[in-house]
Amino acid sequence: MTDRDAQIDTAVTMLTEAARSGIPCPPVRDHVADIDTAYEVQRRLTAARVETGARRVGAKIGLTARAVQQQFGVYQPDFGILLDDMVNGHTEPLRRNRFLQPRAEGEIAFVLGRDLDQPGVTVADVLRATDFVLAAVEIVDSRIAGWDLTITDTVADNASSGAVVLGTTPFRLDGLDLARVGMTLHLDGEPVSFGAGHACLGSPVVAVAWLARELARRGQPLAAGDVVMSGALGPMVPITGAGRYRLVLDGLGEVEAVIEEEEDA
């Protein structure tokens, strides 16, 4: 075993134990020398989940909004893999104790009708390949204590993935300018986060094109039927207890993520 393999194994073990125990671990950056190594940690963690019955259903883009980048001092996007047990429907209750350090953010989810498997994917390719889009809330989470992250920490931790909640009203992209879509995220009826499509790398379509190229380059291309979370449209909001997080997108409907308190022991 090489030193690199040993370090990867250490990072995988730390993140696996944090997810199992519900106790966040220290940052893994001392064991992850660069982004490629971090993506190998992510790949091994995802493969282990698939081996135990999980199914890949898409991917997510992280760190697209400048407001979120500024929160963590990380100034480039990354990606994670979506598995079937991470995807939830509008108003479907989620237990707070399913997560370690959850936060909510408003996004637009793309559902693909065609493969995006070429390393030179363009914005036009994304527009042609998208079957429809949905309003979506992402519950981001971190297995790393205190959200003490660098880019390699969050990449290794599957881009700080937790869960996604999808709306149920599909919208076609014909004539839509997603860069101009406004967003308001409410908590129990009070607005707590504002944003717009242009905050996401200029447009969510640009973000999805970036993701498609990265995944194709790394041998994990997007396929027809995949759900793609295109990135935050504004600042994320900590989830500290039970609540109803309702996302309203101008012209693209709404979706509600319902967080319930833990059951009594």
User: pLDDT tens digits for 134-146?
Assistant: 999 999 999 999 9
Predicted pLDDT at 44: 97
Reply yes or no on whether the pLDDT at 265 is more than 50.
Answer: no
Residue 31 identity (one-letter amino acid): H
pLDDT digits (tens, 9 = 90+) for 215-263: 999 999 999 999 999 999 999 999 999 999 999 999 999 999 999 987 6
- Find the length of the chain: 265
Q: Which of 83, 35, 85 is nearest to 59 (CA)?
A: 83
Range of the domain at 120: 3-260
| Mean pLDDT calculated for residue range 21-47 | 95
Predicted pLDDT at 6: 87
Percent of the chain exceeding pLDDT 90 equals 86
| Total number of domains in the chain | 1
Position 21 confidence tier, pLDDT thresholds 50, 70, 90:
very high
Q: Could you give the 3-state DSSP secondary structure of residue 213?
A: helix
Confirm whether 11 is domain-assigned.
yes
Tokens of 43: 């790949």
Predicted pLDDT at 263: 63
Position 65 confidence tier, pLDDT thresholds 50, 70, 90:
confident
Distance between CA atoms of residues 119 and 111, nearest Å: 19
Predicted pLDDT at 55: 97
Reply yes or no on whether the pLDDT at 69 is more than 90.
Answer: no
Confirm whether 206 is domain-assigned.
yes
Reply yes or no on whether the pLDDT at 264 is more than 50.
Answer: no
**Phi, psi at 155, each rounded to 5°:** -60, -50
Confirm whether 120 is domain-assigned.
yes
Which ranges constitute the DSSP H helices of the chain? 3-21, 35-51, 66-72, 123-129, 151-156, 204-217
Q: Which of 261, 265, 215, 237 is nearest to 96 (CA)?
A: 261
Q: Which residue has the higher pLDDT, 77 or 185?
A: 185
Predicted pLDDT at 71: 66
Percent of the chain exceeding pLDDT 70 equals 96
Predicted pLDDT at 68: 67
Distance between CA atoms of residues 50 and 31, nearest Å: 24
Reply yes or no on whether the pLDDT at 51 is more than 60.
Answer: yes
| Mean pLDDT calculated for residue range 72-97 | 91
Q: Which of 133, 140, 123, 237 is nearest to 184 (CA)?
A: 237
Confirm whether 126 is domain-assigned.
yes
Confirm whether 265 is domain-assigned.
no
Q: Could you give the 3-state DSSP secondary structure of residue 214?
A: helix
Predicted pLDDT at 133: 98
Give Cβ neighbours of residue 212 (< 8 Å, ≥ 6 apart).
Answer: 116, 121, 125, 126, 221, 222
Strand order in the sheet with 190-196: 93-95, 254-260, 243-249, 182-187, 190-196
Give Cβ neighbours of residue 104 (< 8 Å, ≥ 6 apart).
Answer: 137, 138, 139, 140, 185, 187, 193, 236, 237, 239, 245, 257
Distance between CA atoms of residues 103 and 254, nearest Å: 18
- By the 8 A CB rule, do 133 and 228 touch? no
State the CATH number of the domain containing residue 91.
Answer: 3.90.850.10
